[in-house]
Structure 1
Amino acid sequence: MTTTANASSSAGLDAEAHANQFALLGQRRFAPFFWTQFAGAANDNLFKFAFTVMVTYQLQLNWMPPAMAGLVIGALFILPYLLFSATAGQLTDKFDKTKMIRFVKNIEIVIMLIAAWGFMRADAVVLLACVFLMGLHSTLFGPVKFAYLPQVLDSRELTGGNGMVEMGTFVAILLGQVAGGLLVAVPGIGHTSVAAACVLLALAGRAVAQAIPAAPATDPGLQINWNPVSETWRNLKLAHGNVVVFRSLLGISWMWFFGATFLSQFPSFAKEVLHGDEQVASLLLVVFSVGIGIGSLLCETLSRRQVEIGLVPLGAIGMSVFAIDLYFASRALPALGDLGLGAFLHQPAHWRVLADLGLLSLFAGLYSVPMYALIQMRSQPTHRARIIAANNILNALFMIASAVIAGALLKTGFTIPQIFLIIGIANAVVAFYIFMLVPEYLLRFVSWLLSNVVYRFGVKGGEHIPAEGAAVLVCNHVSFIDAVLLMAASPRPIRFIMDHRIFAVPVLGWLFRLAKAIPIAPQKEDPVAYEDAFRQAVQVLREGDLLAIFPEGAITRDGQLQPFKGGVMKVLEAARAEGIAPPVVPMALTNLWGSFFSRIEVRQGQNVAMVRPFRRGYFSRVGLNVGNAVPYSDVQPDVLQQRVSGLMGA
């Protein structure tokens, strides 16, 4: 436990030391792991694609026609995910993750030596066995890959680290497939070249893995259940125990369903719709992979280096928009014969197709990376790997469903562009359903839009917002959207105590009800609602969550800080009576007075808000300053007011 704590502390220091996610490649806690997984992904795809090309073009197998080769190889590779993911998750939680990585890389070397023998003999049976074994290798590595990151990265690095891994994986897939296709086609020495490349990549991955620092077991006392069926069911039930995490798993699995549909149709789409040759099919893969990589890398910049799930709805919108436009861009292309790469690019209509494909994959990167980071952050460390194993099981099921449904649609007469249209519309429906089930995604999206599009929102001292545990946040009250801006600044959900009258404001009232804000009315006006608000506030703290209070009790009418009322102390006293002593974090919104949502306008002698939409122009700069937490024992209304006042001028 001490080692883990030290690792987290070190990660926190490093988080402040580097400017962006690329700096992680210069740090031992991340770089060896990154290159290990990069080599593994490249080797998987080099091996599978070379074998597919060999069966399709070079071998004559009566029992496996060329048209079935890709399907059989893909199914064999994914089968271990269904059978052994649950066991892999247990092993990762029980043992040191670095030792697990090295063990898996040792297995990869053995498999690739057998595969090399199979390539030299052109033995399809041996190579099919190796496909299954490489699927097993990837199944074992999957939970380690995503459980290792939150153990060595600070929460503010998690999005960037996941973005780098996602980008690296798709680049490795692309390079592996290109290398596999080129090497196996070399006259005379193609099979030997592939065999050598597979073994060398496995050795390189194992060599780099030796430099990965220790990542201690999170549940060393775990008793392994070797029954894959019962353990798979247990893992799914374990994941279902956390509603937000489980529905995020479903969201990621849907993304794999969406992506697998496009990837599986690229060869046919290139030939039958775009009228291009094999180079055009490869170009589609390149564009898709580059788009995913760019989207993954953009996540850290767009999220201000925190886990920003507000990007997920943005990603879902982009995926649907460009999938649907891909249908319109490709439904009436002229049949010009088998186009080579140059002739294909010479047609202006084809650039719209490529743009749609690149942008839908970019938005898929924005969609997936924050979801992975959320799962890593919200899962309990003791069984995080088993949650990720459950994710792998669901991913495999959704990808199989994708193949079955796409095949059924094609057999019933649907064209490939029509399938893209159906998937684009279905994505919008599924995304809306998920966001209604988990309103936090939609709330974060609104707060992200407001803080990045309406305003230029900067946060100073954001690290003072606790990454875990109960805390009370106190802030000055300047406008109707203060709560939304605080949501944007915090990587965790916040429950707000708010004046009951704000719930009557159109749109904002609906938004705050969605956020489960706690309405409070004056005691003289509604004593039941008044007491119930404090009861709910204590419940929030009892559950270890963040509670935000605007101690002034109302939105300022002159831009000045008003005297703090006693509500904060009443909440803290009620919490103390139940043995809860949360710290209080002071914060101050700056430069928000005078904006559209503040009560700066005077109408009929009253200060009102939301009268002149662009009175401060576009993208006006506002900020939030967060101070050091005040221990429970030192909290007094005048102390908090002084802290907040000081932050207003910081």
Structure 2
Amino acid sequence: MAHDNEFTLMKERRFLPFFITQFLGAFNDNVFKNALIILIAFQVAATDSARANLLINLCSGLFVLPFFLFSATAGQLSDKYEKSRYIRWVKALEIGIMCGAAAGFLLNSVALLLAMLFMMGFHSTLFGPVKYSILPQHLKPQELVGGNAWIEMGTNMAILLGTMLGGILIAWRNGPLWVSVAVILIAVCGFLSSLTIPQAPPAAPNLKINWNPVTETWRILQLTRQNFTVFQSVLGISWFWFLGSVYLAQLPNFTKLTLGGSEHVVTLLLTLFAVGIGIGSLLCERLSGRMVEIGLVPFGSIGLTVFGIDLFFATPSSPVPSSALLDVGAFLMQPGSWRVLLDIVLIGIFGGIYIVPLYALVQQRSEPTQLSRVIAGNNILNAIFMVAAALIAVVMLHQGLTIPQLLLVMAIFNAAVAIYIFTLVPEFLMRFMVWILVNVVYRLRTEGLDRIPEQGPALVVCNHVSLMDALVVSGCCRRPIRFVMDYQIFKNPLLNFVFRTAGAIPIASARENPEILQRAYQRVADYLRDGEVVGIFPEGRLTPDGEIGPFKSGIERILKQTPVPVVPMALRGLWGSFFSRRYGKAMSGFPRRFWSRIELVVGEAILPEQATSAVLREQVVAMRGDWR
């Protein structure tokens, strides 16, 4: 059964063991990596600071390098083999790697530790594709947003907590021993949790593995580009990692040099950033109504830009002397400190709102037999963007930009990239406009949305109360609905962009324009033959009195040409709104209602041979009841 909310997923065997497994993997990565960096910083730097700086930068490179070399292979393996068994292989490898890391710590061998860091990057590369491709196999479509929200929240909290624990353990007496015990224990726990992950059948069991990383990387990148919307979503995800890596890399020096905060203030800001991403991720399901709502992507992007810019204006105008670094209490007493904290939290929240729908969209729109390889292509591009972010940040800082100015430039870049992506894929912007209109103008309740077929063609019919009807229905449904609508409404300057982007079909009567009428019926037939959902308002016009008028015979004509199931719907509460004809012409005068309560009720699908105009009208009238 579908879960009641995103928290119920954490009680389900089909999700919880996998969540724990991926959390412990990310947690262990960062315990080991940060302990190694601190060990180098304090032990090697004591005798050779130049070599220490080289080794610290080498750590980041060694961890990322496997994503370039082995992501293509990992994507193939994840598609070819049963996923729960594949995960157990990867987690068993982690135990071996961590035993090698323990030997490196106990022998004080930096070379061995660096080799094991590379191997942990290899482990993360192998796990990356299955991390997201297994979710659609264990979760229902309406659970994808909640599942991805938990994964994003868990990953960010694991990174934060692992970084903190690695630093704490290595600083203790006999620190290398404590770290050795911890990383092996965490790896073993990760393997044990993987034993209870339910089976997930291989997506492409007959796939022939290409072991050449160069040719297969190129092939997978080409595969990722095949679906335009998926590829733009992947670019959006990569841009998030570009932006996020800049923020995370600059926060320590931003805190010390600009805010005058100590390392405890750095920890506070990193914690707030990670918590913000977790909150934003979990908010996605509530904001989207448990469906993949890509309209949240522009919303998240706007928030990233607005609060990124505000962070620049919230910082002190002159750097604080590093000789008097502030602890957390003293920092919180400084003027403007709470504004900085709020900006950091909100950047995290809007980052979570931005990234979760993109991952869910990639999972939903990709071919199931290729999903792991598409995720592998995403991981390759993510790594490229993160390396580019580091290089660009170094160049900009070298050219004289301060850290606050660099963060301001990143926020402005984010706005430019968002405009570019939303221009290429107007579906993002269209869904954002629909989401804003439906969720700001109305309080919407739905019933029976699961009665709309998840796959295959269908015809939905609904009463026609206002100019917003098509937007309300589209905003509620997970599948795109191609609405047939009066060509005069289609040309409405305020809503035409949304209608065009949604693939709406303008129609006219035979008396007004027979050519438009004929084209409309042909487009309806084409959409249905392609397995899409078409929506019609059989009354043929907005109701002038709030009552449901006669349903016209166009339904029979459509079903005669293309027999498909028909799903009746009823809108309640829109009569009397600014977009209805209760007070004369729609959208005339002043709005009389704001955030009013409305409902969409969906009935059981009716077979095409039983779906006459009279039967469908009777169904819609019964579902609507007396509430107009």
Bin for the TM-score computed over the shorter chain? over 0.9
1:168 to 126, 151, 154: 154
Q: CA deviation at 1:151?
A: 0.3
Cα gap change, 1:49/1:613 in structure 2, threshold over 3 Å: closer, same or farther?
Answer: farther
Aligned residues: 623
How far apart are the structure 2 equivalents of 1:510 and 1:292? Answer: 32
Residue of structure 2 in register with 1:291 after alignment = 276
Q: How does 1:77-476 map to 2 (within 5 A)?
A: 77-187=63-173, 189-333=174-318, 335=320, 337-476=324-463
Q: CA deviation at 1:563?
A: 0.9
TM-score, normalised relative to structure 1: 0.94
Aligned equivalents of 1:68 and 1:273: distance in 2? 26
Question: Gaps (5+ residues) in structure 1?
Answer: 1-12, 576-580, 602-606
Instruction: Classify the secondary structure of the residue corresponding to 1:156.
Output: helix
State the secondary structure of the residue aligned to 1:249. helix
User: Partners in 2 of 1:335 and 1:175 — Cα distance?
Assistant: 28
What does residue 640 of structure 1 align with?
A: 616
Deviations 1:41-77 (A, max 9, x none): 1000000011111111222474963434443211111
Once the two structures are overlaid, the 10-residue window that deviates more, 443-452 or 108-117, is 443-452
Among residues 46, 58, 62, which one is paired with 1:72 in the alignment? 58
Q: Distance in 1 between the 2:165 and 2:121 partners?
A: 20
| Structure 2 counterpart of 1:574 | 561
Instruction: Give, in whole Å, the separation in 2 of the partners of 1:307 and 1:504.
Output: 28
Poorly superposed stretches of 4+, deviation over 4 Å: 61-64
| In 2: Cα distance, 1:437 partner to 1:628 partner | 37
Residue 300 of structure 1: CA displacement?
Answer: 1.0
In 2, Cα distance between the equivalents of 1:331 and 1:518?
Answer: 55
**Map of 1:9 onto structure 2:** none
Aligned counterpart for 1:608 among listed residues 585, 592, 616 = 585
Amino acid at match of 1:494: I
Q: Which residue of 1 aligns with 2:36?
A: 51
Q: Is the 8 A contact 2:44 2:51 kept in 1?
A: no
Q: Residues of 2 paired with 1:582 and 1:152: CA distance?
A: 29
Which residue matches 2:573?
591
Aligned counterparts of 1:239 and 1:530: Cα–Cα separation in 2: 39
1:334 to partner: Cα distance = 5.7
Give the letter aligned to residue 451 of structure 1. V
Q: 2:32 aligns to what SS in structure 1?
A: helix
Residues 374-429 of structure 1: CA distance to partner in whole angstroms, max 9, x if unpaired?
11111111111111111111111111111111111011111111111111111111
Q: What percentage of aligned pairs have identical amino acids? A: 51
Cα distance per residue 1:273-319 (max 9 Å; x no partner): 11222222222211111111110111111111111111111100000
Amino acid at match of 2:621: S
Deviation at 1:136, TM superposition (A): 0.7
Distance 1:573 1:403 in 2: 60
1:280 is paired with a residue whose SS is: helix
Q: Distance in 1 between matches of 2:380 and 2:316?
A: 35
Is the alpha carbon distance of 1:118 and 1:64 closer, same or farther for their aligned partners in structure 2, counting shifts above 3 Å?
farther
Unaligned 5+ residue runs, structure 2? none
Q: Aligned equivalents of 2:49 and 2:372: distance in 1? A: 39
AA aligned opposite 2:167: G
Partners of 1:297 and 1:583 in 2: how far apart?
A: 35
- In structure 2, the residue corresponding to 1:65 is in which secondary structure? helix
Aligned equivalent of 1:519: 506
The verdict on how the C-alpha distance between 1:109 and 1:613 changes in structure 2, with shifts beyond 3 A counting, is farther
Q: Secondary structure at the match of 1:160?
A: helix
- SS of the residue corresponding to residue 592 of structure 1 reads coil
Measured on the aligned residues, the alpha-carbon RMSD in Å equals: 1.5
Whether contact under 8 Å (2:257, 2:319) holds in the other structure is no
1:6 equivalent in structure 2: none
Distance 1:64 1:292 in 2: 36
Q: Distance in 1 between matches of 2:55 and 2:511?
A: 76
The equivalent of 2:599 in structure 1 is 623
Which whole-Å CA distance do the structure 2 matches of 1:37 and 1:199 have between them? Answer: 16
Deviation at 1:19? 2.2
Q: Which stretch has the larger CA shift, 337-346 or 103-112?
A: 337-346
Residue aligned with 1:413, SS: coil
Partner secondary structure for residue 444 of structure 2: strand
- Between the aligned partners of 1:150 and 1:613, the Cα distance in structure 2 is 46
TM-score with structure 2 setting the length: 0.97
Give the whole-Å Cα distance in 1 for the aligned partners of 2:505 and 2:517.
10
SS at 1:219 equivalent? coil
Q: Is the 8 A contact 2:17 2:194 kept in 1?
A: yes
Distance in 1 between residues matched to 2:51 and 2:607, nearest whole Å: 71
SS of the equivalent of 2:538 reads coil
Per the alignment, in what secondary structure is the counterpart of residue 460 of structure 2? Answer: strand
Counterpart of 1:610, as a letter, is M
How far did residue 451 of structure 1 move?
2.0
How much does 1:266 deviate?
1.4
Structure 1 residue 498: Cα displacement: 1.1
Quote how far apart the aligned CAs of 1:612 are: 4.3
Distance change (3 Å), C-alpha of 1:494 and 1:69 = farther
Q: Secondary structure of 1:359's partner?
A: helix
Distance in 1 (CA, whole Å) between partners of 2:395 and 2:554 is: 61
Q: Which letter maps to 1:623?
A: E
Tell me if the contact between 1:219 and 1:383 (Cα under 8 Å) persists in the aligned partners: yes
Separation (CA, whole Å) in 1 of partners of 2:286 and 2:52: 44
Question: Does the CA-based 8 Å contact 1:331-1:417 persist in structure 2?
Answer: no
The one-letter amino acid paired with 1:244 is T
Partner SS for 2:336:
helix
Q: Which segment drifts farther, 282-291 or 501-510?
A: 501-510
State the AA in 2 paired with 1:622: I
Q: Deviations over 1:475-523 (max 9, x none)?
A: 1111001111011111122211111101332211232123221111222
For the residues of structure 1 that align with 2:184 and 2:316, how far apart are their CA atoms? 44
Whether contact under 8 Å (2:567, 2:606) holds in the other structure is yes
- The offset of 1:23, in angstroms, is 1.2
Deviation at 1:333, TM superposition (A): 4.9
